Amino acid sequence: MGGWLEGVWRWGDFGISVSVLEDAEVRSRFISFSLLVGKFGGFKDGKDSVKWEGNKGLDFSVASCYAFYGKDFVPHGPPNKFDDVFRLVWRVEVPFKIKAFGWRLLHDRLPTKNLLVLRGIHFPVDNLMCFFCGVDVENRNHSFFGCDVVKNIWKEIAFWVGKVGYMEDDCLSNFMDWHRFFCTQKLVDSKVDVVWLATTWTIWITRNGACFREEGWNVNDIVWSIKLLVWKWSFCGKITHSNYSFYEFSKDPILFLS
């Protein structure tokens, strides 16, 4: 910045290189700034030093730096109504790979056929269709929620837990619809989204098994697989009831998840 030369303080180049000063606008501003600081005086001999004014003790800390910049932070826009969805899926007490699956599903990052085409992988047209119904192109919202075959699975699960009403075809809306329903049933926080994850996961592995290993499937088996998974995952993490059988659980799942 500057230094003493033969008893007189001289300002340096302020760290601005000669090549930068070739720009007329920068040079003009540099001259103005030099004139401004050149008038500054009244200080004694000493060396330049660095001090941090972000906290009272003048000692630098990451926390004070975060607070310093945070106080001027302006959000880029109003919050999105689904901003909280992605956080919720990590709170569920299920195996980690299921949380990761749910997170990818909510972000539409599973390798469904429509996305594979976008990435340059080509299918014959008839192979692009939804595996379950064969009518629409496979994509997240259709193959997990909007497909008529898959809707039958959701209806059975809804009947099982006592949920009534319209089923959302959009993934994020569907998730929040089920999430709100289970919240009203007073489920333990970490169990609220277990049924939704078990249903979507079972739909996905059924689709994969049939596509890649030619495994057979039917709606009834899928529904019972979902119920079995929910029962198994009800023992993950915090358990609020003593040991219970699948038979007991399947008759009143809400009771054992509360």
Asked if 210 touches Zn ion (CB under 5 A), the answer is no
Nearest Cα to 170, choosing from 149, 145, 192, 134?
145
| CA distances (Å), origin 158, targets 95, 145, 234 | 23, 13, 18
Asked if 98 touches Zn ion (CB under 5 A), the answer is no
The residue range among 49-57, 106-114, 127-135, 224-232 that interacts with Zn ion, by the rule CB under 5 A, is: 127-135
Site size toward Zn ion (CB under 5 A) is 4
The residue range among 105-113, 114-122, 147-155, 203-211 that interacts with Zn ion, by the rule CB under 5 A, is: 147-155
Cα–Cα distance, 161 to 145 (Å, whole number): 18
CB of 138 to Zn ion, least distance (A): 7
Nearer to Zn ion among residue 130 and residue 187 (C-beta): 130
Helix, strand, coil shares, percent, the chain, to 5: 55, 5, 40
CB of 130 to Zn ion, least distance (A): 3
Is 176:82 a contact under the CB 8 Å cutoff? Answer: yes
Cα–Cα distance, 193 to 180 (Å, whole number): 10
Asked if 203 touches Zn ion (CB under 5 A), the answer is no
Nearer to Zn ion among residue 112 and residue 225 (C-beta): 112
H helix intervals, 214-252: 219-233, 246-251
User: What pairs with residue 151 in β-bridges?
Assistant: none
- Pick from 130, 195, 198, 223 the residue near Zn ion by CB under 5 A: 130
Asked if 132 touches Zn ion (CB under 5 A), the answer is yes
Nearer to Zn ion among residue 23 and residue 148 (C-beta): 148
Q: Which helix (H) or strand (E) covers residue 254, if one does?
A: helix 253-257
Cα–Cα distance, 230 to 237 (Å, whole number): 13
- Pick from 106, 147, 203, 222 the residue near Zn ion by CB under 5 A: 147
Asked if 187 touches Zn ion (CB under 5 A), the answer is no
Asked if 133 touches Zn ion (CB under 5 A), the answer is yes
Residue ranges binding Zn ion (CB under 5 A) = 130, 132-133, 147
